[in-house]
Structure 1
Amino acid sequence: MAAKSSKRSQRTGASVPEPRGEPPLSLDRIVATAVELLDAEGLDGLKMRRLADRLGSGVMSLYWHVDNKEDVFDLALDSVLEYRGTIGSQDWRADVLHMLEDWRASMLRHPWSASLLPRRALGPNILARLELLSKTLSGAGVADADLNVAIWSLWNYVMGATITRSSFDLSDADRASGQQRVEHHYPTIERSGLLLDDDWDGVFRKGLDFLLDGLAPR
């Protein structure tokens, strides 16, 4: 583990000469290209040879900057989860809502991230996001004894909503067919039009309001 940390510190900002016509190979360029590859081909599409080909590099050159493919996964994941927003509106709910909507939007732009995040060590960007969220909730009056429950409840909500949205792929015809199947047998679902509701953003925000209502200090 110590060797890995040392290697990262040595490689930061370093570049390795590449064939003429190619930009210098750097950690930032490797991570950005890995994100592009993951966006295009998903988790199974990230192979070191394929990544090197996209970079116009030799595979061995990558190892001046990263330890292995798992390292690339960690770096790519943390890269797309960086929070670049600002808070401090004096409205804690608005700040929390912005942070969580941004988190969900980031994962929807990079669908592989939602399934990868629970399986990886948390990187500095997601930890900074969680710290900011914790600080905001604490400042709003959420007791320290309840803070972990609050954070994990919001985490689970964002992750569940994101994974459901990214994997739910029903056409309008599928929805209509499903609605017909519930008629006369599942009256509450029929009445609410559950299977016809595709307002993903509105549902996410309203559900988050329900959660924040429960977190609001009494």
Structure 2
Amino acid sequence: MKSFTVIMQPHVVAHYLTRRALKRFRDLPDDADTYSAVYDSVLGTMGVAAANGDLVLLAFPLWYPVPAQFTLGDNGWLNTQGVGITTEDLFAWMKSFDRDIANNHDTLDYFWKELQGDVASTESETTTADGARLIGDFARVPFGKKGEWYKENVRRVISEALEEVGMDATRTQVITWAYGNNKGSSNETWKTHITGSLIEAVKNEMMKISRHISRGGNPH
């Protein structure tokens, strides 16, 4: 395996890039909903880039390149489980469109320091025998395996969250509930699977069932 400096899970990359964007655009509100909106946009952009072959994903543990056609899940979002992105590949991708990096002739080292910022990361981190830093819990979630559990349970979890928190719950509140009430799950992974459109779809289905019951029908 080629020795890379840093390999990060996609949700870690999205977090770093979101934080970088919020620092650069000071007029954006500093709240959870704004962070969530920017994070979703960043993760979506990364997904398009990966699907087009512009951003390379590597699969844990052999770190072989994931074919572009397998980078997106059935929901159209980037597969974030068991894959990583190197700082080199991230830098090369961003250099192709980010004017700050291109115009300032930023180095990879400067870019990496800027991404990390002054706030210490709370992500799991390990170092391989050849010195590569792995940021994220790669070993706990094999590629694709746990992602299936999220896809199979996301509608149920959203429904339970709406019942518990209320039908007017925001996406952030639904994600927070999902993470707090499903032991061993990942808050960042819920952000990938729990989208605003899916919440609306589940909400509409719940309302249809409720109206049906109120008219004396069987919920099933």
The verdict on a shared fold, with TM-score over 0.5 as the criterion, is no
TM-score computed with the length of structure 1 as normaliser = 0.24
Q: Higher relative contact order at CA 8 Å, sep ≥6: structure 1 or structure 2?
A: 2
Q: Which has the higher strand share?
A: 2
- When Rg is computed on C-alpha atoms for both structures, the one with the higher figure is 1
TM-score computed with the length of structure 2 as normaliser = 0.24
